[in-house]
Amino acid sequence: MLNENKSLSTDLQTSVEYLKGVGPQRAALLKKELKIHNLNDLLNYFPFRYIDRTKFNEIGKIDDKDGNVQLKGTLGSFSEMGAGRGKRLVAPLFDKTGSVELVWFKGQKWVKGSLKEGKPYIAYGKPSRFGHKYSIAHPEMELVEQASVVKGLQPVYSSGEKLMSKGLNSKGIEKVIRISLPQIKGSIAETLPEYLVKKLKLISREEAILNIHQPVSEAWMNAARFRLKFEELFILQLVLVRRKLAVTQKLPGHVLKK
C-alpha cells in the first residue's frame, strides 16, 4: 500500500515535529486533530479549494450574490456583543468606499490577541446581508505588510479552533507545507505504471504533489487534481479486484453441470 513506511524515502518519513515551523506543541495537535504524523502525511493533506489572491473587491461594491470576496482595508476597534451562545466578537473593516462588519463566534480570545486594531489587513470570506449592512463571519485575515506576493492560486486547508490557537489556521498550514516542499524533490516515487501515465497523459506523482499545494497555474492545478483522483480510484479498484480474487481462490464454489 502507498502509506507503508517501507515504500517511503527517508525524507518523507521525517516526523512532523522536526519540520521547520512546527515544533512539539504544534506536532502534537497535528497528530491528534489531523492524523498527520510525518512529512508524507502532511503532503497528502490536500487543500479543499483555492483563492485567486490577485483580485480585490471594494467594500462599497460588495454583493452577497458574488460568493466569497477578498477585501483590503483598515481594521477598526473590537467590541463584544451578545451573551451566552450568542456572544460574538465584532470589528469593522473599512476602505475609502465603505465598511463591513467582521464577526467571530469562536476563538474570540485568540482573534483579539492576534489581530491589531488600526492596521491594514487583507480579509477573505463570504459576506451576508442584514438590512443595508454586510458582515463576514470568521474571515481569513492577513496583515498587508506580511502578505506574501501571490501570482496565482492560493490553497485553502481545513483547520479547527484548537489548531488555530497554535497558529495552524489555513495560512499556517500552507506556510509549513510551502517551506517543506523544496526538500521533497526527487523523493516522491511514481506509483502508477509508466505505460499508463503515458497513455492517459498524466503528470508525475511528484509534479502532482507540488502543484496541488503550490499550483503554478490553473491548468497545472487541474492536472494535479486529475492525476491524484485517478490514482486514488485506480488503487481502490485494484484493492477490490484483489479481494475478489482472494475470495474466488479460497471459495471456488460448486460447478453445476446444468
Report DSSP letters for 132-197, one per residue: TEEEEES-EEEEGGG----SSEEEE----HHHHTTT-SHHHHHHHHHHHGGGGTTT----S-HHHH
- Alpha helix ranges (H) inside 8-138: 23-34, 39-43, 108-114
Quote the cell numbers at residue 43: 503532503
H or E element, residue 71: strand 69-75
Architecture of domain 55-146: Beta Barrel (2.40)
pLDDT at 148: 61
Residues 6+ apart with CB under 8 A from 141: 102, 115, 121, 122, 123
- The band of 52, judged by pLDDT with boundaries at 50, 70 and 90, is confident
Q: In this predicted model, what pLDDT tens digit does every residue of 61-111 receive, in sequence order?
A: 888 777 788 899 999 999 988 887 778 899 999 999 999 999 998 888 888
Residues in the chain: 258
Note the pLDDT tens digit of each residue in 172-187: 999 999 999 988 888 8
Q: For residue 184, which of 54, 7, 6, 9 has the smallest C-alpha distance?
A: 9
Contacts made by residues 58-64, CB under 8 angstroms, sequence distance 24+: 58/95, 58/97, 58/98, 59/93, 59/94, 59/95, 59/97, 59/98, 59/99, 59/100, 60/95, 60/97, 60/98, 61/97, 62/98, 62/100, 62/127, 62/134, 63/127, 64/126, 64/127, 64/128, 64/129, 64/134
Contact predicate 101/134, CB 8 Å: yes
102-153 pLDDT per residue, tens:
999 888 888 888 899 999 999 988 899 887 889 999 998 888 887 765 557 8
Is the separation of the CB atoms in 31 and 16 below 8 Å?
Answer: yes
